[in-house]
Amino acid sequence: MLYSPAAAGVPARPARFGTPRMPKTEPIELEAKVLEALPNAMFRLEVQLGEKTHQLIGHISGRMRRNYIRILPGDRVIVQISPYDLTKGRITYRQR
C-alpha cells in the first residue's frame, strides 16, 4: 500500500499560484558613455543626470555578447539599471 499524506491527516501545502507576490519593477534605462574597459566584459560608465555625473559598472548583455558587438571607450551606450542597486547595470545597446 502506498503512503498518502492526506490519509495520514497531514494538510496539503497551499497552492503557490494564488499567493500574492511583490511586483517586479521595471529597470531604469539611461544613456551612458564608456570610460574604460575592465576585465570579463565589464566597463566603467559615466551617466549624466542633470548637472551631476555618476559612475557605474556595466556588463554586456547576452545578446550583445552572442552577436560579437564590440564596445570601446568613448562609445555611447544604453544601460539598464536595477532600482535596487544603482551602481551596476547591463549594457543593452551601442549607439552609432
pTM of structure: 0.74
Lowest mean pLDDT among 29-33, 36-40, 82-86: 82-86
Classify residue 4: in a domain, yes or no.
Answer: no
- Is pLDDT above 80 for 44? yes
Asked whether residue 16 is domain-assigned, the answer is no
Mean pLDDT for the stretch of residues 50-77: 95
Domain CATH number, residue 59: 2.40.50.140
How many domains does one find in the chain?
1
pLDDT score, position 11: 65
Show the domain range for 63. Answer: 28-94
In a domain, 22, yes or no: no
- Whether residue 13 lies inside any domain: the answer is no
Residue 17 has pLDDT above 90, yes or no: no
Q: How confident is the model at residue 96 (pLDDT cuts 50, 70, 90)?
A: confident
Query: CB pairs under 8 A, 24+ apart, for 77-81?
Result: 77/31, 77/32, 77/33, 77/34, 77/45, 78/29, 78/30, 78/31, 78/32, 79/29, 79/30, 79/31, 79/32, 79/45, 79/47, 80/27, 80/28, 80/29, 81/27, 81/28, 81/29, 81/30, 81/56
Q: Is residue 20 part of a domain?
A: no
